Amino acid sequence: MKAKNIVGIILIVVILFLLFLVLSQESSKKVEVVEKVEEKVSKVEPKLEKSEEEKYLEDLKKQAGAKTDYEVSKYYKTACSSCHGKSGEGTKVAPSIAGKSYEYIVEKLDDYKNDRVVNSLMKGLLNNTSDEDLKILAKEIANFK
Ligand code: HEC
C-alpha cells in the first residue's frame, strides 16, 4: 500500500510538472504571436503613411499641372480653391469671388467670421484664420479678374 501511494504521488508530481511545462510553452507561444503581430503592424503602418503622402503629392502635382491664369498662394489653393475655383471663378458649390474689390472681400470675410452673414461653410474655415491672413488673402483675391 505504501509503495503504491509513493508511486501515485510521484506520478502526480510528474503529471503536474508536464502540465506546467506545456502551459508555460503555450504562454510563451502567445507572447511570440503577439510580438509577431506587433511587428507586422509596425511594418504596415509606415507603408500606409507613405501611400497617404504619395496621394497628397499626386494631388499637389495635379494641381500644379492644372492650368491657372494666376499664381495663387498655397493657402488659397488648399483652403479656398476647392470651392471657389482655381482663380476665384466659382464652382457649383460656391459663387465666383473674382473681380471683387479688396474692401468688399475683407468685409465679406469679416462678416462670415463674425456671424453677421451666417454660412457654415465659410464660418468653419475662417474660425482659424487670423485677421492678418484674411487681409493677405483678400489682397490676393482682389487680383483675380
Ligand atoms: C466649403 C466650400 C468653401 C470654401 C472651402 C470656401 N468658401 Fe467662400 N463661400 C462658400 C459659399 C457657399 C459662399 C456663399 C455664401 C453665401 O451665399 O452667403 C462663399 C462666399 C464667399 C465670399 C463672398 C462672395 C460674395 O460675393 O458674396 C468670399 C469673399 C469668399 N467666400 C471667400 C473665400 C475664401 C477667401 C476662402 C478660403 C479661405 C473660401 N471662401 C473658402 C464656400 C466656400
- What are the residue boundaries of the structural domains of the chain, listed by start? 1-65, 71-142
122 C-alpha to ligand 1 centroid (Å): 5
The pTM of the full predicted model, rounded to 2 decimals, is 0.61
For the segment 25-41, the average pLDDT, to the nearest whole number, is: 75
125 close to ligand 1 (CB < 6 Angstrom): yes
In ligand 1, the atom with minimum distance to the C-alpha of 125 is 38
The grid cell for 121 is 461653410
In ligand 1, the atom with minimum distance to the C-alpha of 121 is 1
- pLDDT given at position 99: 93
- Residue whose C-alpha is closest to residue 126's, from 70, 75, 53: 75
Burial tier of 89 (Cβ tally within 10 Å: 0-12, 13-18, 19+): middle
- Average pLDDT in the chain: 82
Kindly report, residue by residue over 53-87, the tens digit of the pLDDT. Answer: 677 666 666 655 554 556 788 889 888 999 999 88
108 close to ligand 1 (CB < 6 Angstrom): yes
CATH 1.10.3210.10, applies to 71-142 = no
Kindly report, residue by residue over 119-138, the tens digit of the pLDDT. Answer: 888 888 888 888 898 898 89
Q: Which residue is listed with cell 507603408? A: 47
Which of 122, 130, 136 has most ligand 1 atoms within 8 Å of its beta carbon, as the pocket-test mutant? 122
- Greater confidence (27 vs 111) lies with 111
